[in-house]
Structure 1
Amino acid sequence: MGENDLFTIKKNEKVGRFAVAKENLKAGDVIFSEIPFAYGPKSDSPVICLGCYNYLETINLCSKCSWPVCNTNCQNKSAHKDFECEVFSKAGVKFQTVEDPSEVCLQYECITPLRVLLATEKNPSRWNEEIQHMEAHNDIRKQKPIWEFNQHNVVEYLRSACKLDRFSEELIHTVCGILEINAFEARTPEGYSIRCLYPKLAIMSHNCVSNIHHAIDCKGSGDADDYSVNVRAAVDVEAGGELHSSYTYSLWPTLVRREFLRESKYFDCTCERCSDKTELGTQCGTLKCQKCDNGIILSTDPLDDKCEWKCTHCEYKTNAVAIRKVFAAIQTDLDGVEYTFGPEGIEARETLYKKYKSVLHPKNSYMTILRSGLVQLYGKAEGYALSDLPDLILERKVELCNQLLEVLDVIEPGNSRIRGLILFELHGPLMVLARHQYQNDVIDKEKFKKELRRIIDILGQSLKILKQEPPSLPEGQLALIAEQAHEQLIQNFDVLIETA
């Protein structure tokens, strides 16, 4: 570990390696930074540029290896030029044209494993010290379809077509397993997703309530030090306290999180949140009973994915398999509106919100996900600017933000990215509402001042979190807007009171 790292590694038989705080940590403290051992396209990738990872509607090929890139600049980026480009050129392996570049392209499955394999030769000391001991779960994966898939699309392709038989089948499968289990998602400056292998970050054990936060900075250079990560304490952590990352999406309910972890990371999570039928009081997986007025439907054993689910007020019973089907149907509806923005995005989400309001507990995960989308659209979509919204809609945005924060306080406490975003979204409607109330004599000057100070504090909390985000990311850019707005509110406080 680095000299400045604020964690140490421990081991036990149950979980293997894990990290603990070397000293008392305050929320926001940088625990460590690192650059990825390797990075590249995710599995199931469509056709993307191998230099910058943008999606390609029309395919332009590298003049040296004949694989897709945007242009000469991308062709010459180190991540491509010094890795697969050399291999493909030497072996004469060219990209095979596809009909639809937006569809999953199996030719891309080999790219990131190949980059890891080549990195073992370019940086053997780091491979030996940090990577080769990472969990690959080859014993489990051999029994699953993914092993046969990788055998055909990665192992045989690299060893035969690419003439890389110096890498054994076992090593290539191990690399695939290390990537599947340990890689983290990163975003390019344009918002596209890739995967990166961070050995230190991978040591952090999983918990469905994380106490650390990581931010990945893409400089867009394509060099070896691109996609560096900063890992900070999200909350205060005492010396010796275990450091937890989350390997799954925190807003999902327990049934979905545990299924994802079992299928992709090969373990059953038994953390405090997963073990609690109310998910620490958030009710993220809870449904309303359709057979009685006041009952809610809860799991009888959250760690059993086939157990009974019962109503708290009547005799109604169902089972986890049926509940999982309900969640899958709702997720399909949410997926259908994920990339719908503007007024249509608001209307589509409000329709789903009304549809599931009578089915799901108000704090259920899917209601929370819908709220998250709505608060980021109200105030931005055409025809829904904050200055144009009636007080009723402004109050709705405030209510949605507060309901979100109530859940986030439990499942993503402290300095989490989403918390910073929601606090920023909250300050705007509060500001407009306070001005309207003062102008209409609903509140007096002193109450208006008090409310403005509260709004400045909320924006300050948002700024504190968002400033930790790299400027290459949208959240980092939002931090600049938040900082400017915060300074203006403080500097013009008296003027705002007099001119409201």
Structure 2
Amino acid sequence: MVEKDLFDIAKNDKVGRYAVASENLKAGDVIFAEAPFAYGPKTDSPCLCLGCHTPVDCTYLCPTCFWPLCGPDCGNMKIHKDNECKIFSEAKIKFQPVEDPTDVCVQYECITPLRVLLEKDRNPKRWEEEVAPMEAHTEERKSKPVWEFNQHNVVEYLRGPSKLDKFSEELIHQVCGILEINAFEARTPSCYTIRCLYPKLAIMSHSCVSNIHHAVDCQANGDFNDCVVTVRAAVEVPKGGELFSSYTYSLWPTLVRRQFLRESKYFECTCPRCSDKTELDTHMSSLKCQRCDNGIIMSSNPLDDSCEWKCHLCDYKTNGRAVRKVFAAIQNEIDQVEYVGGPEGIQQRETIFKKYRSVLHPKNAYMTILRSALTQLYGKAEGYTLEDLPDIILERKIELCHQLMEVLDVIEPGLSRIRGITLYELHGPIMIHSRHNYQYGALDKDDFKAKMQQAVDTLGKAVEILKNEPVSQPEGQLGLMAQTAFDQLKENFDMLIETA
């Protein structure tokens, strides 16, 4: 943990509590680090080991409570042994067998709320000071299907079979709301996503362009202090400047981001990015006009989902409902290939990219999402390693990285994870393509040296970002690789030029 938190809590009637920098912050400064109040399975979770939170086939059950685990070691982890294991074994509640462990298993819905309730009893001071003040949006949630879902699968399960009627229905619903509104996702070392409740991080205001970056170090040792989050300034923030996190996926277009925030966080986002019809000149929501040349279709009022969308050159008009249908169709196609890797994954994404490039603005969110995936597939897939790629594909990867960076520089500024990954992906094709051009005589030695230096500098920027990622995460491992490669390139730079 850091010695001192570098933020103060302010409050106003409009947004409630929010955080401001307590001193001038430079990019990379650690603002605070925090252990979760509780953590555990997300809602709609498949069957998981309740020790390390890795998906399981349910063939091994805890010998004490008879709920799924990986094996005996996970049964001894405190996060399980001192929480639901004790409660379920005393109440004689056993896990009910399921046909397909990979399907959503509603039996897990109670686990994380239960862990919060038990931690409340263990740590009442932290509960009262940090967790209880969190917004639960109880009244809004009462009219939503999630209320009845929680009533049956969490409230009645805990107060009935689990024999925990000491916790009132009102309190359990409050805990469910606090988790739904405030929990952040984290990844276990097996890259499975869980949810963690971070009271300090939850104070940070939302903006669709954040100025902080958080990284969670989930080591899956089952300790209550596992999954520590470290929060850094992504860019310079002046003393007194408000600190912004993002509660949504930054690569989504405004219509989708605002709908997500409205339905899951119960507020209407009016941040500068959402309020701007060009999304801060990125045009991530814009479409190409099919009626005129070079026309761009944009929302006439991004804060009104039902407003007209108009071409800026001709009189063509449509509406937000129609645009939403287009976006949903494209997202569905992208979702279909999400887990397709290798050459097939590249080909399928390029097919979608080509299909919609006459429909979407070049920087539209879905073109950006596809670019992000392609930059990481080119160079890694079988038959598509960097040394295998012909110059035309190397040029394609370089182009994709540059186009992606143009957008990320605006919506993910500073020391953001995705910028670090993209910079890393960019340095390799620059080096190899430059070497080829030098060997073919398309570059003289001075130009070749300049290009190689550009690649080294690009890798250095990637190292600067990725060094802050925990080594328990894939980005942290990539950071170690980037640092090694950077050190070797600097040490052998002159030799690489001479022997090219």
What's the TM-score, normalizing by structure 1?
Answer: 0.99
For residue 62 of structure 1, what is the amino acid of its counterpart? Answer: C
The answer for the alignment partner of 2:388 in structure 1 is: 388
Once residues 97 and 284 of structure 2 are traced to their aligned partners in structure 1, the CA distance between those partners, rounded to angstroms, is 45
Once residues 165 and 38 of structure 1 are traced to their aligned partners in structure 2, the CA distance between those partners, rounded to angstroms, is 21
Q: Deviations over 1:5-24 (max 9, x none)?
A: 00000000000000000000
CA contact under 8 A between 2:289 and 2:295: conserved in structure 1?
yes
The answer for the alignment partner of 2:280 in structure 1 is: 280
Q: Deviations over 1:289-329 (max 9, x none)?
A: 12222211100100001111111122221111111111111
Q: Are 1:70 and 2:35 an aligned pair?
A: no
For residue 306 of structure 2, what is the amino acid of its counterpart? Answer: K
The answer for the alignment partner of 2:360 in structure 1 is: 360
The answer for the alignment partner of 1:429 in structure 2 is: 429
The answer for the alignment partner of 1:299 in structure 2 is: 299
For residue 227 of structure 1, what is the amino acid of its counterpart? Answer: C
CA contact under 8 A between 2:416 and 2:465: conserved in structure 1?
yes
Once residues 490 and 2 of structure 2 are traced to their aligned partners in structure 1, the CA distance between those partners, rounded to angstroms, is 40
CA contact under 8 A between 2:58 and 2:69: conserved in structure 1?
no
The answer for the alignment partner of 1:324 in structure 2 is: 324
The answer for the alignment partner of 1:490 in structure 2 is: 490
CA contact under 8 A between 2:47 and 2:58: conserved in structure 1?
no
The answer for the alignment partner of 2:335 in structure 1 is: 335
CA contact under 8 A between 2:2 and 2:30: conserved in structure 1?
no
The answer for the alignment partner of 2:132 in structure 1 is: 132
Q: Deviations over 1:120-139 (max 9, x none)?
A: 01111111111011000101
Matches within 5 A, 1:166-185: 166-185=166-185
The answer for the alignment partner of 2:97 in structure 1 is: 97
For residue 115 of structure 1, what is the amino acid of its counterpart? Answer: R
Farther off after superposition, 53-62 or 31-40:
53-62
Farther off after superposition, 143-152 or 6-15:
143-152
Farther off after superposition, 139-148 or 107-116:
139-148
The answer for the alignment partner of 1:8 in structure 2 is: 8
Q: Secondary structure at the match of 1:306?
A: coil
**TM-aligned CA deviation for residue 57 of structure 1:** 2.8
Q: Secondary structure at the match of 1:386?
A: coil
Farther off after superposition, 210-219 or 315-324:
315-324
For residue 396 of structure 1, what is the amino acid of its counterpart? Answer: R
The answer for the alignment partner of 1:162 in structure 2 is: 162
Structure 2 portions without partners, runs of 5+: none
Q: Secondary structure at the match of 2:261?
A: helix
Once residues 15 and 201 of structure 2 are traced to their aligned partners in structure 1, the CA distance between those partners, rounded to angstroms, is 15
For residue 133 of structure 1, what is the amino acid of its counterpart? Answer: P
The answer for the alignment partner of 1:195 in structure 2 is: 195
**TM-aligned CA deviation for residue 59 of structure 1:** 3.1
The answer for the alignment partner of 1:413 in structure 2 is: 413
The answer for the alignment partner of 1:255 in structure 2 is: 255
Q: Secondary structure at the match of 1:492?
A: helix
Structure 1 portions without partners, runs of 5+: none
The answer for the alignment partner of 2:42 in structure 1 is: 42
Once residues 183 and 424 of structure 2 are traced to their aligned partners in structure 1, the CA distance between those partners, rounded to angstroms, is 30
Identity in percent: 69
Q: Deviations over 1:29-51 (max 9, x none)?
A: 00000000000000000111111
Q: Secondary structure at the match of 1:387?
A: coil
Once residues 294 and 461 of structure 1 are traced to their aligned partners in structure 2, the CA distance between those partners, rounded to angstroms, is 35
The answer for the alignment partner of 1:349 in structure 2 is: 349
The answer for the alignment partner of 1:218 in structure 2 is: 218
Q: Are 1:244 and 2:251 an aligned pair?
A: no
For residue 114 of structure 1, what is the amino acid of its counterpart? Answer: L
The answer for the alignment partner of 1:442 in structure 2 is: 442
Once residues 289 and 73 of structure 1 are traced to their aligned partners in structure 2, the CA distance between those partners, rounded to angstroms, is 60
**TM-aligned CA deviation for residue 3 of structure 1:** 5.7
For residue 397 of structure 1, what is the amino acid of its counterpart? Answer: K
For residue 10 of structure 1, what is the amino acid of its counterpart? Answer: A
The answer for the alignment partner of 1:270 in structure 2 is: 270
For residue 99 of structure 1, what is the amino acid of its counterpart? Answer: E
Q: Secondary structure at the match of 2:63?
A: coil
Farther off after superposition, 131-140 or 307-316:
307-316
**TM-aligned CA deviation for residue 58 of structure 1:** 4.3
Once residues 353 and 58 of structure 2 are traced to their aligned partners in structure 1, the CA distance between those partners, rounded to angstroms, is 38
| RMSD value, Cα | 1.0
What's the TM-score, normalizing by structure 2?
Answer: 0.99
Once residues 177 and 59 of structure 1 are traced to their aligned partners in structure 2, the CA distance between those partners, rounded to angstroms, is 33
CA contact under 8 A between 2:155 and 2:169: conserved in structure 1?
yes
The answer for the alignment partner of 2:141 in structure 1 is: 141
For residue 109 of structure 2, what is the amino acid of its counterpart? Answer: E
Q: Deviations over 1:36-84 (max 9, x none)?
A: 0000000000111111111113432111001111101111111111000
Q: Are 1:397 and 2:389 an aligned pair?
A: no
For residue 371 of structure 1, what is the amino acid of its counterpart? Answer: R
For residue 260 of structure 1, what is the amino acid of its counterpart? Answer: F
Farther off after superposition, 218-227 or 402-411:
218-227
For residue 30 of structure 2, what is the amino acid of its counterpart? Answer: V
The answer for the alignment partner of 2:115 in structure 1 is: 115
For residue 324 of structure 2, what is the amino acid of its counterpart? Answer: R
Matched residue count? 500
Q: Deviations over 1:330-388 (max 9, x none)?
A: 11101001100000100010010011111110000000000010010100000001111
Q: Secondary structure at the match of 2:490?
A: helix
For residue 76 of structure 1, what is the amino acid of its counterpart? Answer: N
Q: Secondary structure at the match of 1:216?
A: strand
Farther off after superposition, 215-224 or 408-417:
215-224
